[in-house]
């Protein structure tokens, strides 16, 4: 998804946070790159507001059963931005209550409706995760960190998934290197 499209969805979901948990789930995905099930299992006690971190310890399957995340490396702690923290601080929940009380089909429907209303390319919920990672990589964030943030078992998974971006960054780095060498 292009950055302008991601920003439109982020802004629309932010404006509609109070209307459905689906918008909160989209907003969290855009800001964290978390998987749907990881967000569905999120509780306020997973959020450290002082250290600006979210601990990802569980996942919710399609039958609403809490389970271990996809891989061992999916259990992780990630730093989050002020805008997301502010949204989470304003939730009126107890510490152990699930933040999201929606399901995959409902969130998918809200996402499809949002995309249609915004007149942008149709994508799945998982594309929000990919767009989060793509945005970070395109802005020069190290692939190793993006891999850890996404909870990939190995950086090679991230490299494979985002090789098209890495190739374009390689071309930029190559030009930068040659320019530096020309100055010798």
Per-residue pLDDT of the chain (184 residues; tens, 9 = 90+): 888 999 999 999 999 999 999 999 999 999 999 999 999 999 999 999 999 999 999 999 988 899 998 789 999 999 999 999 999 999 988 888 999 988 889 999 999 999 999 999 999 999 999 999 989 988 888 889 999 999 998 888 787 777 665 566 667 777 878 888 888 8
Residue 18 Cα to chain centre, angstroms: 20
Say how many C-beta atoms besides its own lie within 10 A of residue 121's C-beta.
10
Dihedral of alpha carbons 103, 109, 110, 115, sign: positive
Count of structural domains, the chain = 1
Q: What is the CATH number of the domain that holds 164?
A: 1.10.443.10
Closest to 143 (Cα-Cα) out of 167, 127, 126, 166: 166
**Domain residues for 136?**
3-182
CA nearest neighbour of 110 among 16, 39, 3:
16
């Amino acid at each position: 998804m292009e950055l302008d499209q991601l920003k439109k969805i982020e802004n629309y979901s932010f404006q509609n946070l109070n209307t459905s948990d689906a918008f909160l789930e989209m907003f969290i995905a855009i800001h964290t790159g978390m998987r749907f099930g990881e967000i569905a299992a999120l509780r306020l006690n997973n959020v450290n507001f002082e250290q600006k971190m979210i601990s990802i310890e569980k996942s919710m399957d399609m039958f609403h059963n809490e389970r271990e995340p996809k891989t061992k490396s999916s259990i992780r702690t990630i730093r989050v931005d002020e805008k997301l923290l502010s949204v989470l601080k304003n939730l009126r929940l107890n510490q152990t209550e699930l933040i999201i009380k929606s399901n995959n089909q409902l969130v998918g429907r809200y996402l499809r409706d949002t995309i249609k209303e915004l007149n942008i390319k149709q994508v799945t919920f998982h594309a929000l995760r990919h767009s989060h990672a793509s945005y970070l990589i395109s802005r020069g964030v190290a692939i190793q960190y993006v891999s850890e943030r996404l909870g990939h078992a190995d950086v090679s998974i991230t490299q494979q998934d985002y090789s098209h971006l890495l190739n374009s960054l390689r071309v930029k780095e190559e030009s930068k290197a040659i320019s530096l060498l020309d100055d010798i």
